């Protein structure tokens, strides 16, 4: 995709009625309003003067959508994640990559207040992971999941742990690629697994998802040895630069 086409698409979105600066109405909005998971939407995020990646949602039904992540120069990528809307939750079932499917199955799963220290509400084990609330609540909340990932082509299995804090809608952080003011929900997540070594953290990241724009308004990685509630210094950052529908 040429730079000219991307600029045209970005201008089409920005001039086509997006009201990203409108105040959020927590409790009445949905994760879909922010992520755009049930629209054929896409975007690019850049680290400085270089493209860092591209994402695109491909809805498969009113309750299922896949999001692809990869290099725009080698599009479409082999990697894509499957999300399912079930009641008031968005579940992550697994992902496809390298010609096979990696399916999640939970063993321990609960949600709590945003500090992760309050009373916990547990989910039954087994099946897809509870990822995010569909209705955006007025306060933050914590998510904790442990489970297994099974490579469908081989039967190989690894254990994983996924910890998240979702913050309520608030102004998005300043984005060096646009002057538009937007409203975001923020996800702080830590991913750990035992793939090739004992269980260890592999990723600690903040991600801002912007209403009417979609994924990767801003992404910040932190040292994996930091804590979820105090993530420490930023080790890498990228910001959204182009958004479009397809």
The domain in which residue 89 lies consists of: 3-245
| Exposed/middle/buried for residue 136 (C-beta within 10 Å: 0-12, 13-18, 19+) | buried
Output the pLDDT for position 28.
87
CA-based diameter of the chain, in Å?
A: 52
Question: For residues 114 and 140, what is the distance between their CA atoms, to the nearest angstrom?
Answer: 5
> What is the residue-wise DSSP string for 17-60?
T--TTSPP-TTT-BHHHHH-TTS-EEEEEEETTEEEEEEEEEEE
Beta partners for residue 67, in sequence order: 57, 81
Structure pTM? 0.89
* Cβ contact 59:37 at 8 Å: yes
> What is the residue-wise DSSP string for 129-194?
EEEEESBPPSS-EEEEEEEEEEETTT--EEEEEEEEEEEEEEEPPP-TT-----EEEEEEEEEEE-
Cα pseudo-dihedral 170, 176, 181, 182, rounded to 10: -50
Question: For residues 151 and 147, what is the distance between their CA atoms, to the nearest angstrom?
Answer: 13
- Average of per-residue pLDDT across 205-217: 98
CATH classification at residue 182:
2.40.360
Number of structural domains found in the chain: 1
What digits encode the pLDDT tens for the residues 149-202?
A: 999 999 999 999 999 999 999 999 999 999 999 999 999 999 999 999 999 999
What digits encode the pLDDT tens for the residues 104-139?
A: 999 999 999 998 988 999 999 999 999 999 999 999
């Amino acid at each position: 995709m040429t730079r000219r086409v991307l600029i045209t698409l970005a201008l089409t979105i920005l001039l086509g009625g997006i009201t990203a600066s409108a105040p959020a109405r927590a409790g009445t909005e949905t994760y879909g309003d922010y992520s755009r998971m049930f629209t054929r939407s896409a975007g690019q995020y850049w680290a400085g003067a270089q493209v860092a990646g591209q994402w695109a949602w491909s809805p498969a039904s009113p309750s299922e959508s896949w999001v692809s992540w990869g290099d725009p120069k080698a599009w479409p990528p082999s990697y894509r994640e499957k999300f399912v809307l079930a009641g008031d939750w968005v579940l992550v079932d697994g992902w496809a990559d390298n010609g096979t499917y990696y399916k999640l199955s939970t063993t321990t799963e609960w949600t709590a207040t945003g500090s992760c220290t309050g009373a916990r509400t547990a989910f039954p084990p087994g099946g897809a992971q509870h990822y995010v609330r569909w209705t955006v609540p007025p306060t933050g909340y914590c998510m904790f999941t442990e489970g297994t990932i099974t490579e469908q082509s081989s039967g190989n299995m690894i254990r994983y742990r996924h910890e998240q804090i979702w913050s309520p809608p608030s102004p998005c952080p300043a984005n060096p690629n646009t002057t538009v003011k937007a409203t975001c929900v923020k996800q702080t997540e830590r991913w750990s697994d035992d793939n090739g070594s004992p269980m260890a953290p592999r990723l600690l990241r903040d991600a801002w998802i912007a209403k009417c724009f979609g994924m990767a308004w801003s992404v910040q990685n932190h040292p994996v040895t930091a804590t979820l509630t105090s993530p420490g210094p930023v080790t890498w950052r990228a910001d959204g630069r182009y958004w479009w529908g397809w």
